[in-house]
C-alpha cells in the first residue's frame, strides 16, 4: 500500500530559547577508568525498583566491555561490574539493558559470539548474589544479521525485539525477534531485511511496539532520498512482517529511536538538527512537524516527563561544543520553548553525550557520556555517568 506523507509550512513549529539556561546543576556519579571497571559507555541507563542504575560500557572489563550497576548509599554512588565480556561471549555492548519480570537483564553486543557478528545475552542473578551470563543468540553475519546496536524491547508474551545495523537479505540491516521455546531456548525470526529499493537501510536504534504489536523505528540511510526513513512493521503469520514507510527524511536520517505520546504520536531526532513529531492524521496518513532546531545534532532518543516536556542530549552542542542536555516545553500556540539545561565543558564533567536520558520519580535526569571524566583513555577520560537536577 502506498503511504502518503503530508508536510506543509503550517506544520513547522517554532521554538524560542528560555533565559534560564544552565540553572540546572550536573553531578558526575561515576567516572570510568577504561580498565576493569569499564570504559566508553554508549548506552542509556535503566533503573531497578530500588533506584539502582544499570548500563554497559563498550570497552574495558575483561577487554571486551562490561555490564555495570551503580548503587547509592548516603549520597555516594558505587559501581559494581556485573559481567565482563571476553569476546567469545560477546564484544562491545553498545545498547543498554532491559529487565524481564523476574529481574533478569538482557542486552546485545555488537561483535563477538560464535560468528563474530554480535550476540543477545541474558544475565541472571545467582544464589550467591553474582550474575551469570548466557548467550541466547549469536548473529551469523551476512543474511543472519550483524552488529546489533539499539536497545531491546519485550512484548507482553516475553518475546524480545531488536535490530542489526548490517546483515539481512540485502546487507543493510534487519529487524528481528527472539521467542522462548519449549526446549528452554530461544527461537530467532527475521521480521524484515532492510535495503531493497526505496526501503530504509542500516537501523542504529531499536524498535518500539504499540498496543497492537506493530513495531516502529528509524534508519540511518535509505528511502526515497537515501537519507533514512521512519518505518512501521506489522505482524504477519510468516516472515517477513509487512513494512510501511511512514516518513522519508530529506537530509540525513536518524540514529536515535522513537517514543510515543499518550495519543500515539511519534517523536524523535534527526541529523538535520531537528526534533520532530509524526502525527497520525485522517485517511491513515502521517504528518510530520519540526518542533525545534537543536544546534549540533541531537542524536539521542528523547524522553517525556509527566508534564509533557521532552528531554534529550547533543553530541557536539553547548557552549563548549562538547555536548549538552536540553529541554523542550510546550508553550502557547505552536511554540515550543527550548532550554539548554547543561553544557559539558569536556573535563571532569564528561563530554560527548549522544544517547538518551532516564528520569527518576523526582524528575532528575541521568545519562552517560562516552568521553571526559579525566581518568584513563590518555587522560581525557573514558566517560561518565551523570545526573542533571531540575
Spell out the domain ranges in the chain: 20-388
Beta strands in 150-199 (DSSP E): 153-154, 160-164, 174-180, 186-193
What pLDDT sits at residue 333?
59
pLDDT at 207: 98
Q: In this predicted structure, what is the pLDDT of residue 334?
A: 60
> What Cα–Cα distance (Å) separates residue 124 from each residue in 62, 82, 157?
19, 10, 19
Burial class of residue 105 (count of CB atoms within 10 Å of its CB; 0-12, 13-18, 19+): buried
CB 42 within 8 Å of CB 59: no
What was the pLDDT predicted at 266? 96
Whether residue 113 contacts residue 142, with contact meaning beta carbons closer than 8 Å, is answered with no
How much is the pLDDT for 68? 98
Give SS3 for 375.
Answer: coil
* Unique residue bearing C-alpha cell 535503566: 46
The CATH class of 20-388 is mainly beta
Q: Give the chain's residues under pLDDT 70.
A: 1-24, 296-297, 332-335
- Indicate the pTM of the whole model: 0.91
Q: Is 117 left (phi over 0), alpha (psi -120 to 50) or beta?
A: alpha
Q: How many residues are there in the chain?
A: 390
pLDDT of residue 56: 98
Burial category of 364 from C-beta neighbours within 10 Å (exposed 0-12, middle 13-18, buried 19 and up): middle
Report the alpha-carbon distance of residue 232 to residue 26 in Å, rounded: 37
* 43 contacts 93 by C-beta, under 8 angstroms: yes
For 232, how many CA atoms within 13 A lie in the half-sphere containing its CB?
18
Angle formed at CA 177 by CA 172 and CA 180, multiple of 5 degrees: 155
Amino acid at each position: 500500500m502506498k503511504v502518503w506523507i503530508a508536510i506543509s509550512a503550517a506544520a513547522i513549529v517554532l521554538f524560542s530559547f528560555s533565559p534560564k539556561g544552565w540553572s540546572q546543576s550536573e553531578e558526575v556519579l561515576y567516572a570510568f577508568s577504561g580498565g576493569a571497571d569499564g570504559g566508553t559507555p554508549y548506552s542509556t541507563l535503566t533503573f531497578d525498583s530500588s533506584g539502582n542504575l544499570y548500563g554497559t560500557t563498550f570497552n574495558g572489563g575483561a577487554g571486551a566491555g562490561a555490564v555495570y550497576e551503580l548503587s547509592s548509599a548516603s549520597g555516594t554512588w558505587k559501581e559494581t561490574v556485573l559481567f565482563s565480556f571476553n569476546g567469545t561471549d560477546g564484544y562491545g555492548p553498545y545498547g543498554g539493558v532491559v529487565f524481564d519480570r523476574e529481574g533478569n537483564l538482557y542486552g546485545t553486543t555488537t561483535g563477538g559470539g560464535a560468528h563474530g557478528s554480535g550476540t543477545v545475552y541474558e544475565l541472571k542473578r545467582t544464589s550467591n548474589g553474582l550474575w551469570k551470563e548466557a548467550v541466547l543468540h549469536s548473529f551469523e553475519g551476512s543474511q543472519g544479521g550483524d552488529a546489533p546496536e539499539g536497545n531491546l524491547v519485550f512484548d507482553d508474551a516475553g518475546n524480545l525485539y531488536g535490530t542489526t545495523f548490517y546483515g539481512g537479505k540485502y546487507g543493510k540491516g534487519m529487524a528481528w525477534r527472539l521467542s522462548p521455546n519449549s526446549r528452554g531456548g530461544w527461537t530467532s525470526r527475521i521480521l524484515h531485511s532492510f535495503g531493497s529499493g526505496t526501503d530504509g537501510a542500516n537501523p542504529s536504534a531499536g524498535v518500539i511496539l504499540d498496543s497492537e504489536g506493530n513495531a516502529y523505528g528509524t534508519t540511518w540511510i535509505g528511502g526515497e532520498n537515501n537519507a533514512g526513513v521512519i518505518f512501521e512493521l506489522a505482524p504477519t503469520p510468516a516472515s517477513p512482517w509487512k513494512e510501511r514507510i511512514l516518513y522519508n527524511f530529506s537530509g540525513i536520517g536518524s540514529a536515535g529511536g522513537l517514543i510515543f505520546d499518550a495519543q500515539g504520536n511519534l517523536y524523535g531526532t534527526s541529523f538535520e538538527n531537528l526534533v520532530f513529531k509524526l502525527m497520525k492524521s485522517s485517511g491513515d496518513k502521517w504528518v510530520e512537524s519540526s518542533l525545534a532546531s537543536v544546534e549540533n545534532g541531537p542524536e539521542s532518543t528523547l524522553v517525556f516527563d509527566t508534564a509533557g516536556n521532552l528531554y534529550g542530549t547533543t553530541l557536539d552542542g553547548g557552549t563548549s561544543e562538547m555536548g549538552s542536555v536540553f529541554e523542550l516545553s510546550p508553550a502557547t500556540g505552536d511554540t515550543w520553548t527550548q532550554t539548554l539545561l547543561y553544557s559539558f565543558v569536556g573535563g571532569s564533567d564528561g563530554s560527548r553525550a549522544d544517547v538518551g536520558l532516564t528520569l527518576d520519580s523526582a524528575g532528575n535526569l541521568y545519562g552517560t557520556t562516552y568521553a571526559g571524566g579525566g581518568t584513563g583513555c590518555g587522560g581525557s577520560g573514558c566517560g561518565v555517568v551523570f545526573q542533571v537536577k531540575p
